[in-house]
Chains A and B, each alone.
Chain A
Amino acid sequence: MSEALGLAARWMAAGEWRAHPGRVVTAALAIAVGVALGFAVHLINASALNEFGRAVRTVNGEADLRVRAVARGFDEMLYSRLARTDGVAAASPVVELAAAAPKAGDLTLIGLDVLRAARVTPSLVASQGAGPGAVASQDVAAISPALLAATGLRPGDSLSLTANGRTQAFRIGGVLTGAAEGQKLAVVDIGRAQWRFDRLGRLDRIDLRLAEGADRAHVARVIASQLPADAQIADAQTDARASDNLSRAYRVNLDMLALMALLTGGFLVYSAQSLSVARRRPQFALLRVLGVTRRALLVQVVAEGLVVGAAGSVLGLGLGLALAKGALALFGGDLGGGYFAGQTPDLVFAPGAAALFLALGVAAALIGSLAPARDAARAQPAVALKNLGDAVDPRAAPGAAVAVLALAAGAAAAFLPAVGGLPIFGYASMALLLAGGVAAMPWLARRLLSPLRRTSFGVPPLDLAVQRLWGAPSQASTALAGVVASTSLLIAMAVMVASFRGSVADWLEQILPADLYVRVDAAGQGLSPDVQMRMAATPGVARAEFARTAPLRLSPDRPPVVLIARAQGWDASVEGLQVGPSRSPAPGTVPAWVSEPYARLYGKKPGDVIQLPLGPKGAVRASVVAVWRDYARQSGAIAVSGVDYARLTGDRTASEASIYVAPGARLETVTSSLRAALPADLRSRVQFAQPRQLRAFALGLFDRSFAVTYVLEAVAMLVGLAGVAATISAQTLARTKEFGMLRHVGVLRSQITAQLAAEGALLGAVGGIAGVGLGFAMSQVLIHVINPQSFNWTMQTRIPLGLVAGVGVALVISAAGAALIAGRRALSADAVRAVREDW
């Protein structure tokens, strides 16, 4: 646009903003809130992930390559072979155990050959106090600051560590200065670890440093060719991918949710710009007459929106930064998903993310301004100049072509697969459905109001209200765009959460059929066959079923799956949880029942043959018999029979027990008897829980994980309601001439007020119907596309009728209230003369 036209545009924009600063501020604030929420959520997650990654790197060190156990360790003879491999400069053997300490709870225990580790992963031995040599001798441990603080001990004190069912006292020799904040870590001599904790002859990891100039890929291939089935090769990148994959879907979904508030802000800009354009129609017509081209006018309106968007985005970035800083300080880095629990990470500012959210805020304002700008440019100047009031032609039936196109595209996008494990097309589907739904508002408003228009209620205010809304359905769209967007998103999320929670609750009922559950913690060794027999023979126990769970690392860049071996088999227990058909196992294979997340993550289905790295002889061929629903293990689970597991691994211990109490026996008595049946050194490592406790705990975790979701949804709804109030107010104030005319022909002030209230209520009802219908459609995308593609689980749809009805009623009341309040101002004598019409 030429400089001259830019000057005229600046005059026009400045004049408009001076006259109506409230509306400009409202639109900018809406963008600011959206950007702030999205940026804050992103920063919190990024900071937590950074800290999480640092913790992982602390445990893993800085090795060039790493050989890791797939399940329960591998033969330590592998170490000497790898250390002699060409290209390997140094190798460090590692034992890594889940452990526990008094007052500190769970921690990670690492056993190192300190001298070798100092050459490969020096950060694991960097410590204050005793140097590396001290750890190598006797029972001395170097521990992280967080573990030191948790135990309340000091260097030199004695610390009891329990792992693999064994407890041993160590003297605290030093503090690990390189440990991540909040990480509980203890490093001891590898020989002590293997001996004290019953891991003789076994290693969990070998860290490798490559020789200068060695070809990493070639060395990795050579090493991989030497590995047994129970070991796999990885590096820092695969480690990063594995830890990133653990929480990626959760973080991305939360980011998308936060962006919904921004989307609502964009619709608010659309409403504000539409109103501004409608009010300035004669002015724009004059400009066209005086010689401003259509394109220049379109650019002007868009530019006004961009300025609002830019101002709102900059403000939003500042707010978001403050919000993230405050949230991290007060609540830590976990937003409810549990992936980063216990962390209090430092805020990591991400310039790239800041630029992205700034661009998104501006883009939201730009998109919100395009339709009004196009309307301004397309208006016929001669006609617009003559129209001194509303340019409403009831004969013009609103079209639905754009809406149908957007809705159809949205529906089609829902059928497209995930991209890189993320439901990109699912999000696109939601956005298209939303855009299509809002675009369909004028058509829908007319269709819904047509039956009412053909009916005369005999109540002038109601008849006038219906006639007016029927004749101006586009104005309804302008008023309701923001709130329909936020309502539909709220309904979509509410249906999804209700469906998810209902499915989880049903699943818990099916997966917890016993009267009592027993679990040995990770530091405990497990329930031996003798202990199992004693427990089963305990008075009051009708039946006891035992299972062993263990992590199984099938892919270096994915979190481990959980292997579940159940002594009593699986057919009956998965019957109620089965998803899809079952197949008989192929001859010569071990039957395996895989969880839904596993099946989706690894692309397996009943009838497929998989390799299970169990036992010392290499991988075992297993047949997928059926897929079962599992909401507990997002990374996947594979169930096999306990008999097969014991045969393949030689491990007959159990880590869990399901107890069925005999009729007439008291649960408390049985629990005490079972505890007494345990070996003394195991009693402190075993937890007892009743099904209702487990169900309450699981559902509590579920509710907590969605708490942030509810907050974001509430904010989006408030932004939308603020938008509908501001828009209805502005539209009402613009009709003072109309009200003046009505008063002249004898309509009472109270009747005009009633008309406005009826208009508001009808608008709210139309918006509510649109929002609920659209929200339900979007909920199906959430339930059947986004959730499965993100988290790899499915659920049945459930509709929270109470909440849906409540939202609808709230919308009707707030819209009617806004119209009523604005109407009172419009009818007052002062308002007619007022220059300022701000809300």
Chain B
Amino acid sequence: MKILVTAKRVPDPESTIKVNSSGDGIEEAGIKWVVNPFDEIAIEEALRVKEAQGDAEVVVVSIGPSEAQEQLRTGLAMGADRAILVTGENLDTSAVAKILVKIVEKESPDIVITGKQAIDDDSNEVGQMTAQLLGWPQATFISELKIADDKSSAECTREVDGGMETISVPLPALITADLRLNEPRYASLPGIMKARKKPLEQIEAASLGVDTTPKIVIKSMAPPPAREAGRIVESVDELVTALQSEAKVL
């Protein structure tokens, strides 16, 4: 069994994000970069499937700048067997999905697991687009994964409004991981030592023959308005009036 997982390079959620001087992106200097937390959950799930199956291979893929090697090493240190880095600039979600399709076609995995979304742009699109382009079944926002004994299908529990939904998808399938699927492990010391020797293949996006012209252009970015100091009101009436006329929420 082969499992392909994604690892997007994103700013650490603990970092302080500032808009850059041209106003169309973020200031990248001084930012700490990490594996997208939802992708980390995807990697963990792939490793658990591998541990349960015994003879599975986990391939971790990143699409982005060459520095994303660091995130792939994290995936390898956690226990993935090998890594593929597709380098390219200015790739939007549709470009990333098209590139991922090429990698899937080349690798023919039984399952592709991605995070449900990346925490930088919160698009929540790559998994779904990739499944669509491949013509594969998809199970999104899953919180539990069970591979059938004959490995022909997977039972996925999805978090939907107001409850849980359990669906069965034939393999190969694409799955996107939600927060409660698992708690990712820490890379261990032996894992980190071994990661350096594991294969990391680099491919240029341009060599894959897909049109990566962005369909989305970021026109401008602005930080959320600074929070103003609160105010203590004297009475309930005053509060209601303020909520109606000033905050305009009632």
Please indicate whether A and B come from the same complex rather than being unrelated chains: no
**B residues adjacent to A (C-beta < 8 A):** none
